[in-house]
Amino acid sequence: MELNAVRSRKTLSNSSEIDGDEFARLYQSQLNRVFNYVRYRLGEADAEDIVAEVFTRVWSRRHEFDARRGTPEIWLWAIARNAVTDQLRKQDQLRKKNVPISEIDEASLQASDPLDFVSETEELDRIRSAMNRLASLDREIIALRFGGGQSHRAIGELLGLQEANVAQRLRRALRKLRLLVEGNAL
């Protein structure tokens, strides 16, 4: 379900609080999307913890939701993006202290034989390593589109970009990422 396509009862009514039913609906429609977006941004190891944190924040802050400012989906995604940003900041701080974050390293980027079998997780790790060489905004767009399954319009809404601009950046970033993963980066 696209963010901008959702104009739920909550948006139309004056009532802003997210109740149990609304939460269940959000959970049903967004859990997989948020989970995969987080996987694309942070990797497998942190994904479940962060997703748990995101949905718990949504529930614990449900009184703060303001329907005049957007749909519950947009609100949830803003929370998800904030949680990811916080976690990235923490990872960055740890990295500065030379604490290993995970097993992901440059070696995984320099893929061995492309015919070698790699699991989905390994492949995602390799792609994430390559993503680190992209601009931060491009990483976010790729994760929202391919992990979070968001439309270009929804991504634009979240990032404050025009829909056409999103498509253009995404296309360019996608090619660059492919070349990086294939080891042909310039």
Q: Which is nearer to another protein, 14 or 60 (CB)?
A: 60
Give 165's contacts (C-beta < 8 A, 6+ positions apart): 156
Residue 49, both tokens = 């913890």
Query: Is there binding between residue 142 and another protein (CB under 8 A)?
Result: yes
Nearest CB to another protein, comparing residues 79 and 158: 79
Q: Which of 5, 24, 107, 137 binds another protein (CB under 8 A)?
A: 24
Q: Does 174 bind another protein (CB under 8 A)?
A: yes
Asked whether position 177 contacts another protein by CB under 8 A, the answer is yes
- Other CB atoms within 10 A of residue 46 CB: 21
Say how far apart CA 79 and CA 84 lie, in whole Å.
9
Binder of another protein out of 73, 147, 155, 156 (CB under 8 A): 147
Site for another protein, residues 44 to 83, rule: CB under 8 A: 47-49, 51-53, 55-57, 59-61
| Stretch touching another protein by CB under 8 A, among 3-11, 65-73, 103-111, 169-177 | 169-177
DSSP 92-143: HHHHHTT----S--HHHHS---TTS---HHHHHHHHHHHHTTS-HHHHHHHI
Binding mask 117-136 for another protein (x = CB under 8 A): ---x--xx--x---------
Based on the number of CB atoms within 10 Å of its own CB, is 29 exposed (0-12), middle (13-18) or buried (19 or more)? middle
| Cα 70 to chain centroid, rounded | 19
Cα gap 99→172, rounded to integer Å? 33
137 binds another protein (CB under 8 A): no
- 42 belongs to the binding site for another protein (CB under 8 A): no
Which residues form the interface with another protein (CB under 8 A)?
20, 23-24, 27, 31-32, 35-36, 39, 47-49, 51-53, 55-57, 59-61, 86, 90, 120, 123-124, 127, 142, 146-147, 149, 152, 164, 167-168, 170-171, 174-175, 177-178, 181
